[in-house]
Every structure is written in C-alpha cells, then in structure tokens.
A = this chain, B = another copy of it.
Amino acid sequence: MTVADCSFTVLDGAVCAPAGFVAAGIACGIKKSGAPDLALIASERTAAAAAVFTLNKAQAAPVLVSKERLAASGGRARVVAINSGCANACTGSDGLLAAHAMADAAAAAVGAGRAEVLIASTGVIGVALDRHRVVAGILSAANGLEAHGGAAAARAIMTTDPFPKEAAIAVESPHGRFVVGGIAKGSGMIEPMMATMLAVVTTDADVEPSLLQRALTQAADVTFNAISVDGECSTNDCVFALANGASGVKLGAADSGLLVEALRRVCEPLALGIVRGGEGATKLVSVRVTGAQSDAEAKRAARAIANSPLVKTAIHGADPNWGRLIAVAGRAGVAFALDHARVRIGDTILFADGRPFDERSEEASRHLQNDDIAIEVDLGTQEAGTARMWTCDLSAEYVRINAEYRT
C-alpha cells in the first residue's frame, strides 16, 4: 500500500482514538499546585513499541530505564507511565531506583511483563522524585484507565504548556481502516536535536517493532526534530510509539511509506502545538531555507534562524527586520552568497540580488501581525538544498516564566 491508495481523516481524540487503548490522568501530589501530574496509557494487548530519545549526554533516569526495558522486551510494551512536575534528572542512584519503581508499578498495575513498560518524567531537573507518591499515583491511575482517558492523560503531562496537545487521524486503506493518535507536551528546552520533548503516539495497526522504529524515526525527523522554541535540548526528551494491531490491519515493509505518512500526520500537529504553546510564544513561525549547497546546510541555516534571539524578538515586535535574517544566515557556518541571497516575509520580498526593498516594509509588517508567520531565506548559492523548521517568537513572557520557574 502506498500513500496514494489511502485517504486520511482528522479525528477528535488522542492516544485512545485507536482501538484497544485506554488512558488516565490524575493528580498524585508531585506538583505542589495539586494539578494533574501523572498519566498512564495502556494497550489491552501487548503492542509493538518504538522510541526516540534525547541526545543529551546528561540523560535522566527514566530515559535510561525506558531504554533498558525496551531493549529487554525486544520492542514490545503494554503501558506508558509519565509524571510531570519532576524530571528525575541528575538525581543519582536514588533517582534510578525511583525510575525502576515507577516502571515496575506500571507494569504490575496492568498485568504486563516487567519489560513491557516505558516511562518518562518532566519538570524541574535535580529534584528527587517522591517514589511513594508516584507509585501510589500509578496504582490509582490504573484503576481509572478508560477509553476516554486520552484528554486527561494529555493534561497530566503538561508543565508550562498553556494547553494540551492531542491529535488523531483515521486511515482508510485497501486493507481496512486503522487509526493513529498521539499526545505531546512542551514547552521549554525545545531544540531539534533528535527527540525534543515528550510525546506518545498510538496506533491500532499491526506493525513489527523494527518497522515501527524506522517509521517513527523518519516521522520525528520532519516534525518533532524540525521545531525549536529556545534552542535547548532536555535531559528527558522521548517520543514513544505503540502499535497494538487491534484494527487487524497489518502493515509490512512495503507499507513503510504509508506508516511514516500516517505517523507524520499525527506528529506534525503535535509538534506545531508545542511551538504554538512554547513558553511565552505568541506566534508560530515557519522558517524555510532554500538555495543551500545541501539539505543539511539548509537545515543548519534554518536552525540558526529559528534559534536567533534577534530574529525572534523582531518577529515578536512585528518588525520586518530582514537584515537580522541575512546576518544570521551569514554566520550560520554554511555557504552563503550575499549577491544572490533573498529574504521573503509572507509574500513580500524584502531583499534580493544584493538590494533591499525597504519600501515594502509596511506590507511585510502587516503579515507579521498574524499569528502564523512565514519566512523564507534563500542562501544565494544557486544550489537546490532546502529545509524547513518551525519556531516561535521570543517575548518578555518567556523571560518571566524562566526567571521565576522554581520560585
């Protein structure tokens, strides 16, 4: 089956939209505010599992434990447990014990094998995770698992996120209908360095673990790994995928392109939701780079632009300051030819062939009043390398959130 043989429909719902998944989200007292801080997502049968983890070398205890269990199970899992309010990172051997306790409790609570579990934590780094609270929370959440629990789970994994991120699609294929759903959280320490936040994607398609892993990696590359809020890369980032086969639709190696596309269609709105809900963000900015010597160079330039505080503050102020885009492209460490470079904001070309068109500033400024901004920079090498990233503006609210995060 290829993408062209199928039709895709956006659904309400999230991780429980595919058949055979249940979820819950509750408060177990990790967050002092009493807000929901524990999510459990379970499959009624053992599912193929795949994961993409942070490349940060200071990996949190739950990342280490999830890697270990995923390897031990040979890419199978039945349950995902996630707490917010504490990252359980840089917490030494006590942190590792707490993470194992969390995994053991989740596996036991749903009757899964010890290795059939994935866990994640998000919140402040370096604070001890209260093992008793999280274990009690998991047992209590397990009692509340239900087919409509996806929204509660999406809320329970939030930290500074202004809104929960959920997405789901149905795929009508020649072999039958299957569904893909997902949840994600942001919203600081978001950088495109592989896995970049927490997300869980579920599907009732029947997929082998190795194929699921390859497809997840590809889908994450053009979605979660193409966003940036602040150029940071967390100690805890993971994307998990579970495929439980409950739809009866089997996807094999020949359907790989379809599986990637189905995952991408769920991951992209989740990723864009992370950017839109980035700390202090008021605008979603698409950065497209063309005219690079290679796609890799284009991505490097797009990333530099997406992480530039001067670009992000100018966009925040609706200032069509295209000179900053040129300045960042020029310092991005990639081939760049000023004489042929071009900058477009919205539909307005502000600089081309070495010449500014400042008389068009007002037109570009009007585009920058929108919530969704499009920026395009051609590096002028006259080669065909392109890339796309999404980012948000940088506001005083970002500073306020992060200056006062722990107070």
- Residues of A whose CB lies within 8 Å of any CB of B are 55-59, 87, 89-93, 124-128, 188-189, 191, 193, 230-235, 307-310, 313-314, 316-317, 319, 321-324, 326-331, 336, 338, 341, 350-351, 354-356, 358, 394-396, 398-407
Partner of A326, one of B126, B230, B324: B126
A-B contact list, 14 entries, CB within 8 Å: A56-B331, A59-B338, A90-B356, A93-B354, A126-B323, A189-B310, A230-B309, A233-B331, A309-B309, A309-B402, A314-B403, A394-B399, A396-B396, A396-B399
Partner of A90, one of B126, B338, B401: B338
Residue ID in chain B nearest A394 by CB atoms = B399
Residues A90 and B326 in contact, CB atoms below 8 Å apart: yes
For the residues of A in contact with B, the DSSP-based class is loop
| A398/B336 contact (C-beta < 8 A), A127-B358, A356-B126 known | no
By CB atoms of chain B within 10 A, which of A92, A324, A358 has the most?
Answer: A324
Q: How far is the CB of A331 from chain B (nearest CB, A)?
A: 4
Residues of chain B contacted by A127 (CB below 8 angstroms): 356, 358
| A309/B90 contact (C-beta < 8 A), A319-B405, A399-B394, A403-B314 known | no
- Smallest CB-CB A-B distances: 7 pairs: A125-B323, A317-B403, A58-B330, A313-B402, A396-B396, A126-B323, A233-B331
Residues A326 and B125 in contact, CB atoms below 8 Å apart: yes
Residues B327 and A56 in contact, CB atoms below 8 Å apart: yes
Residues A310 and B351 in contact, CB atoms below 8 Å apart: no
Q: How far is the CB of A400 from chain B (nearest CB, A)?
A: 6
Residues of chain B contacted by A396 (CB below 8 angstroms): 396, 399-400
Residues of chain B contacted by A93 (CB below 8 angstroms): 354
Q: How far is the CB of A73 from chain B (nearest CB, A)?
A: 25
Residues B317 and A404 in contact, CB atoms below 8 Å apart: yes
Residues of chain B contacted by A310 (CB below 8 angstroms): 188-189, 230, 232, 402
C-alpha gap A358/B128 in the complex (Å): 10
Residues of chain B contacted by A92 (CB below 8 angstroms): 354-356
Residue ID in chain B nearest A93 by CB atoms = B354
C-alpha gap A314/B189 in the complex (Å): 13
Q: How far is the CB of A18 from chain B (nearest CB, A)?
A: 33
Q: How far is the CB of A365 from chain B (nearest CB, A)?
A: 9
Partner of A398, one of B309, B354, B401, B407: B309
